[in-house]
Chain A
């Protein structure tokens, strides 16, 4: 009997509530006191096709899905056919015999435990409910098979749905539970039991929600966004919380409007943000440059998906690194920060607003579909870890000498910032090259002084990052290792799982995560790579853009790459095998 270690997959067609069911299962497991990680795989359609959601459950920390499934919950016959080979020996399959009868012989998997549950019949004949309720019946059956406390699932259903809907769902879940208990009770080799950390202690959230929460905590008061996978979830989160959090959310006519609205709101003094994917970011690029030139603190979240163009709308990639680092004509300072898990999504978003205001320049939070749409359990965030810092902001009346100069040539390049409506100050932002007062200027000496003013801000940012010990990189594992894997962004989860496998197999490897991609943390990366015997870059793209950045900044090659570009997340076992191969 394997207790409290499980990989669970629920699959079916789009519109069957797959993601929601997976989330409910994950949340119930978290409340049992277990660590969970859940990720979805869906296509760009609303009905039909094949969707699935995988939940990894463990007593130890989990960072990604695993390669094998222990329990498959199939809401159609196709799900069984597609996933049967991922099941471990002794794995279980819950399915509706009315979809298609299954037997271990024809499946070619004599080692599986088949659990036919007449899901449709129960919903139609016994419950007289909508067929969408099948998935809740199936969840109840899964809980019975796993011999898990049914109260956990019931409470999650009650906390998620409105009372009437919750009641119907609880009833459905019980039906499934009772059926499976009496027909298959005790037959399955996996079990989930409450641990001593059971209860409402930790939180379960997606990267999108962690970014949204970080933004709200940081005082983001204005969000303009046009829907685009994979950051639509962030738009939804900000919309849900708009009224209670005293923020304003606007969905304008497109991404160009969104970024220019954000620039306007930020100029006026509200912390402002937009979110999009690569295609939408293409449209925002002129606005990004305007924020750089006018020295406006805009925060832009980019969730990558495979491109170019529309690409694979609902899958994941890291193909926009070079684009985001260089986007826009001309040269201006920017910050590109790439969180790798939900915690970093929260804290780095909070910091993003600080960098934007302190250095009066745009900040890009670079993520990917796998990071922002996957859900992970974590300890509730320390909401006071990152303090709100607004930089050189003039509050009250302007009391400087002479006229206020928005682009005053300050030592650090960061001018005192007055907001429009500050008494005694006329604030003039200008996307044309300008003088200290913001008046358009084409005078060569003025141009030079302004270019230098803007660009030197980044030097002071680098200095601050170093002096205050902001973790621009993180090193996991021993200092000395046979191999150092290097990555950024959402590949972090599968890499940390791969490290577990490598450790178990006696391979000494460590992991350098680069969180700040611009300005590039040259010294920290250099130090880590100098200590490494073999540097292997892992990326979700074809050309290994991080390797080229390392080469550009450090004048050195890496020793190998492990690349993937099919839109699907890395599997930890595959990564571990590839690292071993590279040694």
Chain B
């Protein structure tokens, strides 16, 4: 079981001072300690963007992959070795723009991995452009006159795509976020947490103060997270009050559960020195 100090790496985070990613990093490390996992049993996967650097900052196995492809890479790792705890980290452009197709399919596929989306509603590492979750009117270097398209709603999309664990957290409340991450990892199936992550350098609109004025916790309002329709209703709540917490949660067979021949097997550990293919060859005669 890992202790907090063992999760540190020699690499100093180079995120901007005040970046929401620090809150996420704190929550993730706290969650790993709380989950009582061994470092060798955890793999974190990240895409490209400020969030992607997290692989350098947490001392567990990691795969810093390419833009938009966190889900398929994490899926391949998990399917090959289900003994591993696989946690994917993506950015909003990374997941909701470049990797959008994987997102919807991951929900219905229900592979037992976790996805945490650092949603700062802008592309930070490319110095501030609009993304799929930027608010309409958001002025950025690529939209100097304001973004003309409305944002997409990832929570609602996750719900209609048959997501089995759909939650939203806030980088400004790492303690609450930690509990969501713990719950998402413990969830047998695809655990998805969107995280509001203020970008102090490029998002002048969705600031810590902006979120503080609007966010409330679903758990404090008696939300029934077993009801997909109610969750969907909640996912459309946006404006003066914006909910965070678990929108929906359901136990369903995971992708591997549906494959009887994979029961109790770890592909990466099956013997391959002398595989017997004689039955197939015989049928070709």
Contacts and interface: CB of A to CB of B under 8 A. Distances in A.
A265 B76 contact: yes
B32 to A, nearest CB: 13
A370 B28 CA distance: 52
B154 to A, nearest CB: 17
Interface in B212-260: 259-260
A422 interface: yes
B270 A246 contact: yes
Given A267-B63, A421-B40, A204 B284 contact: yes
B277 A216 contact: yes
A438 interface: yes
B80 interface: yes
Interface stretch (A171-179, A189-197, A424-432): A424-432
B61 A420 contact: yes
A383 B282 CA distance: 13
B284 to A, nearest CB: 4
Interface string A249-274: 01011101111111111111111100
A250 B11 CA distance: 37
A246 B278 CA distance: 14
B88 to A, nearest CB: 10
B124 to A, nearest CB: 16
Interface in B169-193: none
A440 interface: yes
A287 B69 contact: yes
> Chain A contact residues (Cβ within 8 angstroms of B): what range?
35 or more
A123 B108 CA distance: 46
B270 A264 contact: no
Given A253-B102, A290-B65, A421 B281 contact: no
B116 interface: no
Nearest to B283: A159
A145 interface: no
Contacts of B273: 219, 388
A228 B121 CA distance: 36
A232 interface: no
A252 B284 contact: no
A85 to B, nearest CB: 35
B79 interface: yes
A244 interface: yes
A422 B81 CA distance: 12
B61 to A, nearest CB: 4
Contact of A430 (B55, B105, B269, B285): B55
Contact of B268 (A202, A257, A269): A269
Contacts of B5: none
B158 interface: no
Contact of B40 (A224, A252, A266, A420): A420
B105 A253 contact: yes
A221 B267 contact: yes
Contact of A272 (B9, B59, B76): B76
B105 A260 contact: no
Given A216-B280, A224-B76, A248 B101 contact: no
B141 interface: no
Given A246-B261, A263-B65, A426 B59 contact: yes
A436 interface: no
Contact of A264 (B77, B101, B285): B77
Q: Which of A31, A268, A380, A434 has the most CB of B within 10 A?
A: A268
Given A429-B63, A431-B65, A222 B76 contact: yes
B39 to A, nearest CB: 6
Given A252-B105, A263-B65, A267-B63, A421 B83 contact: yes
A420 B81 contact: yes
A265 B111 CA distance: 14
B270 A221 contact: yes
A417 interface: no
B60 interface: yes
Contacts of A247: 267
A38 to B, nearest CB: 13
A286 B281 CA distance: 36
A201 interface: yes
A305 interface: no
A270 B80 contact: yes
Contacts of B52: 432
Contacts of B43: 268, 420
A128 B76 CA distance: 50
A426 B8 CA distance: 12
Interface string A461-484: 000000000000000000000000
B83 A261 contact: no
B148 interface: no
A256 B45 CA distance: 16
Interface string B67-99: 001011111111111011000000000000000
Contacts of A286: 66, 69
Contacts of A434: 64
A256 B261 CA distance: 26
A226 to B, nearest CB: 11
Contacts of B71: 257
A245 interface: yes
A80 B190 CA distance: 57
A242 B261 contact: yes
A217 B277 contact: yes
Contact of B80 (A202, A257, A272): A272
A184 interface: no
A260 B285 contact: no
Given A380-B281, A428-B61, A248 B56 contact: no
A265 B61 contact: no
Contact of B73 (A218, A261, A430): A261
Contact of A252 (B11, B62, B72): B72
A426 to B, nearest CB: 6
B69 A262 contact: no
24 contacts: A205-B284, A209-B284, A213-B277, A219-B270, A219-B271, A219-B273, A221-B268, A246-B265, A248-B79, A248-B262, A250-B79, A253-B101, A253-B102, A253-B105, A257-B72, A261-B72, A264-B45, A380-B285, A383-B281, A419-B81, A426-B39, A429-B62, A438-B64, A439-B56
Interface of B: 9-11, 39-41, 43, 45, 48, 52-53, 55-56, 59-66, 69, 71-81, 83-84, 101-102, 105, 259-262, 265, 267-275, 277-285
Given A245-B277, A290-B66, A431-B66, 14 more contacts: A200-B285, A217-B275, A218-B272, A256-B72, A260-B65, A267-B77, A268-B43, A268-B76, A272-B80, A287-B69, A380-B285, A383-B277, A421-B41, A440-B55
Interface of A: 31, 159, 200-205, 209, 213, 216-219, 221-222, 224, 241-248, 250, 252-254, 256-272, 286-287, 290, 294, 380-381, 383-384, 388, 419-432, 434, 438-440
- Closest 9 pairs between A and B when the two form their complex, measured CB to CB: A219-B272, A264-B76, A269-B268, A260-B72, A261-B76, A268-B80, A265-B80, A203-B284, A270-B80
